[in-house]
Chain A
Amino acid sequence: MMTIKLSAEIFDPWQELVDFQAQAVDMAGKYGATGVFVGTMRDFNQGDEVRGMYLEHYPGMTEKQLQRVVEQAQGQWQLLDVLLIHRIGQILPNDTLVLVAVWSAHRGDAFDASRFIMENLKSQAPFWKRETLESGQIRWVEKNSDGYSK
């Protein structure tokens, strides 16, 4: 089971979780662990103040690669359900960028699968960030950092 959404509108990750769990009646009583990651846009990056950004994607391929990442996680860990929502379009600081939630019987699977999905999403899903700095300068973010290195 998985739900993947690209959202051009601002969304509240906590309300999404409440709504998702309310309709997921089949797994009620079955899960003992929910692993949740929420990524939020900062107002700074690489030493500069950031006013906003545009998130470009490749319609079709983005969804396909996100589905692939979730399928890989489902192949490695025992997951009851997965919810993944990613913003696209114009985004402001403090907006939620991404929500990854996994439901599992046990915490090990929930922790590890949510981390795996996030790290692989960042390296494989075709999204590109174009930042507008406080100075008015516009620049493309060149690459994502490795989440496992400090």
Chain B
Amino acid sequence: MSIKVLYFASLKDRIGRSGDELTIEAPLTVVEVWQRLNPNMDIPDTLLAAVNMEYVGLDAKVSDGDDVAFFPPVTGG
């Protein structure tokens, strides 16, 4: 099972990658996805997350084939 992960804006710069692919054996939560991919980086207080382009909480479940995105507060308009 695999999931795609994207990072945006200042978070992408901090992490130094625009995305990751993660192979998982069982469903994870969003926060577990973060911890697997960025074990040495604390979760930013203002972190926002989306699964399949919908906002979710960090405890949301992530399943095979899902697209996960992590990003800082939005600043459009």
- Our pick among A97, A118, A127, A130 for the contact of B74 (Cβ within 8 Å) is A127
| B50 touching A122, Cβ below 8 Å | no
In the complex, what residues of B have CB within 8 A of residue A124's CB? 55, 74
B9 lies within 8 A of A144 (CB): no
**Chain B residues near A142 (CB, 8 Å)?**
10, 72-73, 75
Q: How many A-B residue pairs have CB under 8 A?
A: 75
Check A140/B72 contact, CB under 8 A, given A58-B6, A64-B53: yes
- B77 and A143 contact, CB distance less than 8 A: no
Chain A residues with CB under 8 Å of B46's CB are 143
Interface 1/0 per residue, A118-135 and B, CB below 8 Å:
100111111111100000
Closest A residue to B76 by beta carbon equals A127
A86 to B75, CA, bound (A): 12
Q: Which A positions have Cβ atoms within 8 angstroms of B?
A: 39, 55-58, 60-61, 64-65, 86, 97-98, 118, 121-130, 140-144
Q: Which 6 A-B pairs have the closest CB atoms?
A: A127-B76, A128-B9, A61-B53, A122-B77, A140-B10, A141-B75
